[in-house]
Structure 1
């Protein structure tokens, strides 16, 4: 585990895990230190037209961000570990039951968001399954609809 924050509640990278030869998952707990993107980027995994950009393993690693009252934030893959920030697609479609995201909203840390006129997956589960995670995979059991 790679830890770069002694106080995860303040936000920061708490883990970086490989998800295939060319991908990694950056785990961010608590409030991100950098602002979110205003809309999903070109290869945002939440975009339906970006399905297949990332391996299924990345979605298995990130599934806890969709668990009820999670303090883990689905991080923007473009920002990486150097400037961790919440993913715009996550804030638009996957953060309703996420404690960290709800607290960011309450503090006014979430600015204007737009889907950029792109179709987004309806839920984390839908996104993960579309990207190769078996719908019966135990990691998806606790994901909120």
Structure 2
């Protein structure tokens, strides 16, 4: 019986790994954590979690807290619920970060939690508590949803 050449055998094998570009590194996080986040984003079945969602949520959270001064900030309710527009509501961005943190392995989770904890402290300083959040918010069990929000018409 004739034997197959090694090149023919290798051509028949399915590749072990799909070759792709490494994920972009998320600003402020290590490469290892960025890879773990990319893995979670790719494997998630959640509509709002997709490759790059964590980076976008972190950028949106930072941008919301960016304006200097001591005046209170009011998260704006987003009327469009598509994956792109929903990130303009900083509370949705914080929801995505909470879900990613929940799904990460321990070490990357700790690194991302440190970043988010710093932003959370600034969020609490710059926003006001909403005493009627239980009646207004559909997720009033989350502390970041129990802050006063502005209306989209207020501009």
| TM-score, normalised via structure 1 length | 0.30
Q: Comparing both structures, which one devotes a greater share of its residues to helix?
A: 2
Q: Radius of gyration: which is bigger? A: 2
| TM-score, normalised via structure 2 length | 0.29
Higher RCO (CA-CA < 8 Å; seq separation 6+): 1
